[in-house]
Amino acid sequence: MKEVQVGAGRRWGFWPALVLTVLAGGLLPLQFAVNGALADEVGSVTLTGTLSYAAGTLGLLVLLALSRQRPDWAAARQAPPWSWLGGVVGSAYVVGSVVLTQALGTAVATTLVIAAQVVTAILLDHLGVLGLERRRVNPARVGALVLVLAALGLRLWGAA
């Protein structure tokens, strides 16, 4: 397994990166619930997304200021134009997750989003687009996809 580049020159092995990913993924339903509660209070999905991103931006600026890592603004300017769309995609994701959570509940919304993420991730890896290393679809990935879709089916069946 490859090492993962983290920050300025630090590398993590596969297993620590995997554990961190699982912990970060556990935040997804929490984000759905928190943003749903905020939307209920402010009465606007768009304002909720704006406030969520403003709070996240503030938190990231504090982390950046406290870290030893200094921004390489020249490198940022050289990044491909499409790589700047992460914030736009993330904003759409936050707004969509609020709507899904309000309509379907946190469990169904989270399961649906995870299934969509797995399908999209397998396609992106298989095609090797957006700067990703190409990882062809194989029987293990198809099996994982089948299990995720089965989980979604069970979740939707249980929601009816």
List pLDDT tens digits, range 36-56.
999 999 999 999 999 999 999
pTM of the predicted model, to two decimals?
0.73
Average pLDDT over residues 90-114: 89
Q: Provide, rounded to the nearest whole percent, the portion of the chain with pLDDT above 70.
A: 92
Return the ∠ at Cα 55 (arms to 54 and 56), rounded to 5°: 90
Neighbours of 35 (CB within 10 A): 21
Number of domains making up the chain: 1
Indicate whether 32 pLDDT > 60. yes
Report the length, in residues, of the chain.
160
- In Å, how far are 7, 25, 74, 114, 115 from 147, measured between CA atoms? 34, 18, 44, 12, 10
Q: With the CA atoms of 42, 46, 47 and 53 taken in that order, what torsion angle do they form, in degrees rounded to the nearest 10?
A: 130
Domain extent, residue 143, equals 4-159
Indicate whether 63 pLDDT > 80. yes
Give the span between the Cα atoms of 100 and 88, in whole angstroms: 18
Average pLDDT over residues 143-154: 93
- pLDDT score for 12: 74
